[in-house]
């Protein structure tokens, strides 16, 4: 399976989701390639830290690719790995477009805030365009950094549900320190010592829902 985590908003949690997904997939025995398609190279930095902490045993392979090279290399790499997770930047980049033409599953996290939700139409347009080259592309939206209380989560969910282009996964990730703490140690939430069970359960639930829907 080839997953791309993207969207049109910076800081929505793309790298958090991509790295946690890679870690979850290796935990269930999958052979995983993590592709950093963002010039900021955050997931490469994550992997470098992870290798340092784990005596070079990150558990997955990581590469950095951009633009046209994503189109050229990912299909070949897909023959060698069971799963590929592509982390893109939060802009409409050539790299993100290239990734979407070779991807099975597009994952778009949304923070439940107006500025983030306002990018929904742009994401829909991006997916519709990508489908002209990749008709089987499945695109899933979900809430990341959900508030512990208040109406903003529900309001955002209502808007995301209305999309006819994107499928809403009703499996939010809360705004939980464990995600940042795990990243600071080169780990996924499921690996962190004294982790937050809620964060672990939310991430696993999101993956389960994705599996059921795809
Ligand atoms: N569910 C969450 N709970 C708490 N903190 C989170 C959560 N998701 C992401 N964060 C934090 O939010 C910040 C941005 O997350 P991340 O780097 O994953 O976003 P991004 O979409 O990859 O950003 P960019 O657009 O810069 O690539 C990070 O500090 C991360 O630790
Ligand atoms: Mg990122």
pLDDT value at position 202? 98
Domain boundaries, the chain: 2-213
Element (DSSP H or E) covering residue 28: none
From the CB of 133, is ligand 1 less than 6 Å away? no
Q: 185-197 pLDDT, tens per residue?
A: 999 999 999 999 9
- Percentage of residues in the chain having pLDDT higher than 70: 100
Residues 117-176 have pLDDT tens digits of 999 999 999 999 999 999 999 999 999 999 999 999 999 999 999 999 999 999 999 999
Handedness of CA 44, 48, 49, 53 (dihedral sign): positive
For ligand 1, whether the C-beta of 183 sits within 6 Å is yes
Pick the atom of ligand 1 nearest to 10's CA: 25
The number of the ligand 1 atom at minimal distance from the alpha carbon of 17 is 18
Give the ligand whose atoms come closest to the C-alpha of residue 17. Answer: 1
Distance (angstroms) between ligand 1 centre and the Cα of 11 equals 5
Question: Which of 3.40.50.9100, 3.40.50.300, 1.20.140.10, 3.30.465.10 is the CATH number of 2-213?
Answer: 3.40.50.300
What radius of gyration do the chain's Cα atoms show?
Answer: 16
Binding site membership of 40 for ligand 1 (Cβ less than 6 Å): yes
Confirm if 70 and 104 have CB atoms less than 8 A apart.
Answer: no
Q: Which atom of ligand 1 is nearest to the CA of 12?
A: 21
- Provide the pLDDT for residue 28: 97
Q: How far is the CA of 39 from the centre of ligand 2 (A)?
A: 9
């Amino acid at each position: 399976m080839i997953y791309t985590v993207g969207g049109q908003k910076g800081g929505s949690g793309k790298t958090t989701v991509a790295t946690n997904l890679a870690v979850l997939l290796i935990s269930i025995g999958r052979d995983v390639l993590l592709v950093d398609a963002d010039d900021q190279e955050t997931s490469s930095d994550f992997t470098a830290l992870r290798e340092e902490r784990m005596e070079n045993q990150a558990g997955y392979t990581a590469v950095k690719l951009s633009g046209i090279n994503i189109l050229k290399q990912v299909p070949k790499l897909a023959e060698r790995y069971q799963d590929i997770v592509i982390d893109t930047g939060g802009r409409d980049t050539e790299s993100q477009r290239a990734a979407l033409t070779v991807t099975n599953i597009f994952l778009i996290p949304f923070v439940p805030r107006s500025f983030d939700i306002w990018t929904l139409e742009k994401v829909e347009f991006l997916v519709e365009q990508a489908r002209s080259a990749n008709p089987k592309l499945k695109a899933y939206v979900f809430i990341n950094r959900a508030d512990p209380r208040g109406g903003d989560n529900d309001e955002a969910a209502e808007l995301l549900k209305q999309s006819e282009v994107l499928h809403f996964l009703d499996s939010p990730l809360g705004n939980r320190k464990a995600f940042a703490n795990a990243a600071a140690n080169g780990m996924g939430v499921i690996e962190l010592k004294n982790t937050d069970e809620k964060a672990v359960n939310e991430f696993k639930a999101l993956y389960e829902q994705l599996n059921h829907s795809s």
